[in-house]
Amino acid sequence: METNRQKKIAGVLQKDLADVLQHAAQDGMKGIIISVTKVLVTSDLSNAKVYISVFPQDKRDLILKGLHENTATIRYEMAKRTKEQLRRMPELFFYMDDSLDYIENIDNALKGKQENPIKNPDILDQRKKR
């Protein structure tokens, strides 16, 4: 179960990460929108899983690769922003949030654009619990 402290830190990280990533997108990636959809902080506050959503979708892999390569720089920028609130900046781990794709696939199937998942549930991707 997530404590209030974890939730508070996750909220601070989510807000500041959104700012940092939007500035990076404005500087070098015109027309790309990066959203931080969720941040989960471990109970010892040492790690943070950051889930992001990217539009347009075809830029996802490129953005995720860039985030992984620049994690140290992003973490340093975040530490400067949160130094008043956090003693120690958690390690950041970036993941793609695929919930919007999952919803879109179901929506398309229900509109008849794809095979109906109610009649054939095997066509839906099996989501993994994280």
Predicted confidence at residue 125, as pLDDT, reads: 65
Q: Which pLDDT value is given to residue 117?
A: 63
Please, which residues have CB within 8 angstroms of residue 93's CB and are 6 or more apart in sequence? Answer: 47, 48, 49, 50
Question: pLDDT at position 71, please?
Answer: 93
Give the pLDDT confidence score for residue 38 in this predicted structure.
94
Q: Quick one: which H or E segment has residue 72?
A: helix 71-82
List of domains in the chain: 4-97 (3.30.300.20), 99-130 (no CATH)
Average pLDDT, the chain: 84
Judged against a pLDDT cut of 90, whether residue 98 lies above it is answered with no
- How many CB atoms are located within 10 Å of the residue 91 CB? 12
Q: Which two tokens stand for residue 98?
A: 């695929």
In this prediction, residue 128 carries a pLDDT of 58
Residue 127 has a pLDDT of 60
Residue type at 70 in one-letter notation: N
- Tens digits of residue pLDDT in 33-48: 888 999 999 999 999 9
Cα separation of 97 and 49, whole Å? Answer: 11
Confidence of residue 129 (pLDDT cuts 50, 70, 90): low
CB 52 within 8 A of CB 95: yes
**For the chain, counts of helices (H) and of strands (E):** 4, 3
Residue 95 has pLDDT above 80, yes or no: yes
Phi-psi region of 3 (alpha: psi -120 to 50; beta: other; left: phi over 0): beta
pLDDT, tens digit (0-9, with 9 covering 90-100), for 22-36: 887 766 677 788 889
pLDDT band at 107 (very low <50, low <70, confident <90, very high): confident
